[in-house]
Chains A and B, each alone.
Chain A
């Protein structure tokens, strides 16, 4: 092996991780109390603690990323460091995939196994006859065994438009990336801006769809297994799109400041990977939640 190794940058002490730990404590402890207070409609400190946690978290993120960006811009990071970041981001995205797998797994189990067994499938004839006589297994589950009724969200219309928007945003982001690699800064800025606008449009339409579901369709978080999986899958996806859009926004600001070169642009790359990832999640989600 004749590879030459540059010095690997190990940062000196940093105050940000402990600030972040305090932030997560405030968020978790605050949320734990807040959930109880909200559901019982009692006053309490949980909400304030939760909010304080997010404020501290945002301060931490600004401070931490400022350090990292300064170090990166002053050339402290070797190619090996860049690989560490890339690999770290890839494994993080894998963990996110597995998080969504838990909910997709629940969806498949509910549709294929739980509904079948509730209506007497496998060796559950007595369950059906004694506990849930008259239950009709169907998907979407418009009437639960307990009798809650709802309407299904159609696959055409708004969801289809949203799918198109998200796919197009992935394509525009790809063109932003090629613009960066070919040092066409104008294309980079324009395509990044278009991606951001598409992301914002997607999120607005999602909010509209939720209002429509609650107001017109009677489809809520509490309307049985169909409502659960619908809202948790689309909800967590929406949260990820929001996070991805915020990351892209900061990447956009950095582009405006002249950061990133055709060779070195890990932050851009990571944001783009994340965006493509949430796009793929949406395609799976659209197929399994809306279409099938």
Chain B
């Protein structure tokens, strides 16, 4: 980022230079600066949340109580989840959106640049509040990231109010970010950039932004009801007052299920960008990708109660949610088929972004299949709240969302910094991550099927060997990510100069501007043929 500004032929206005010092970052309205801040923030939160995962795995390395108190263990699982979802994965995708969407559609910046800055800068404060709450008397939130009532109402500590307000701020940030993305895409496309010419990353983010606007306010409603139930005597989730704890789960999962697609649709967009580049073929079935993404988004509103099969819902409800959930396999299958068909007879090379994208396709599909198993209501009665569920959502979130974010970082790093990253180091990072992540999460399927419950700091002796393997995998995966930090720092500081196109097979507007991308791109829109 410290490289000299490349001249742009239209760059003659009052802001043709980068401001310097801390004010550049505090006051910025530039989508690239804000994108960088989002990405750096996400990386920091990834390590903080990761450190909590290390605590969890250290405790679970052996049966019996080893290092931490059960209450602290619960705080770790809770805050690990909250940080990874709201602090790492979502901001990383928003950072990528900030950096890439204006360049991909030929826009001068995001549509509402000042609000863009605001939506970023409230995030560090939200997580500051969440982390401070860990140091309150009685500890931080310990009710799981899903904060089910009555755990979060009747049985929660004093930190609940801080938790509620920090989630409110995260929600405000996401909603403003989503409004910015959606308006940018609707209104700032360059002439000729028609809907069906938009890169799939833009398409998937458009739909993601729509989902965010629809469900983040519902999350705000849920935490508000938790707040009033806990502190002001309401009884939304208390049967004695005519409410129902299950109501909490309905409201939460009405947010929560679209939320999981919020964390995977941009990943689909990234993989759909990377695979054609390194297969040197256009994406197979572009239009079907767009329709599949839209179908997934629509279906995501109709499946929330598959998280709640064991709450005793009527059979008709269980059947409805089971079938709707299984339907999602169809558009998802279309996507996986299209990625594979794109590679079919392609002239493939296997640089690091492609390796991560390939790993994504295989491992995300494993996560998808275990999701199908969980969707089957009678089977879910067996799997519910076991490590099988933990294995499932870590396959879709770590080897799915996080791998796609890492792939995107490798793919676009040369465009951001102007330098090629260290390919050899990147390959090391990839193989270490791939092996350790499977050692970490694959055995969880087995202990889960054998009945090991999640969110418990101790376990029965027969799970000991598997858990030791899992913990070793966890430590190795955590250590492998340090390679990534080293690589990113190295790449930002210098290296082989990147060309404008960077990758031989890369196509799209972002590859037509120089590397590093000038501070202001497309002050007058390019014309897309």
Contact = CB atoms under 8 A, between A and B. Distances in A.
Interface of A: 1, 3, 5, 7-8, 10-18, 20-22, 24-25, 27-29, 31-33, 35-36, 38-39, 64, 80, 83-85, 87-88, 91-92, 94-96, 98-99, 101-103, 105-106, 109-110, 113-115, 117-118, 122-123, 131-132, 141, 144-146, 148, 220-222, 224-228, 231-232
Contact of A114 (B112, B179, B243): B243
B129 A95 contact: no
B222 A102 contact: yes
Contact of B234 (A3, A8, A145, A227): A227
A39 B231 contact: yes
Nearest to A24: B122
Interface stretch (B79-87, B182-190, B408-416): B182-190
B228 A145 contact: no
A84 B187 contact: yes
A228 B188 contact: no
Contacts, number: 236
A168 B406 CA distance: 56
Given A29-B162, A221-B233, A145 B242 contact: yes
Which residue among A13, A15, A83, A84 has the maximum number of chain B CB atoms within 10 Å of its CB? A13
Interface in B481-502: none
B247 interface: yes
A24 B164 contact: no
B228 A114 contact: no
A84 B116 CA distance: 13
B241 A148 contact: yes
A31 B161 CA distance: 8
Interface string B160-201: 011111101100100100111011001110011000000000
Contacts of A80: 187-188
Contacts of A141: 242
A84 B188 contact: yes
A132 B29 CA distance: 58
Interface stretch (B212-220, B276-284, B289-297, B504-512): B212-220
Contact of B169 (A28, A106, A232): A28
Interface stretch (B20-28, B67-75, B328-336, B366-374): B20-28
Contact of B162 (A14, A21, A32, A83): A32
A17 B121 contact: yes
Contacts of B27: 13-15, 17-18
Contacts of B129: 25, 28-29, 32
A231 B235 CA distance: 12
Contact of A98 (B107, B108, B215): B215
Given A101-B221, A231-B234, 20 more contacts: A5-B525, A13-B19, A14-B114, A21-B122, A24-B125, A24-B172, A25-B125, A29-B132, A29-B162, A38-B231, A87-B187, A88-B111, A95-B179, A95-B214, A109-B250, A146-B241, A222-B232, A224-B241, A225-B242, A226-B242
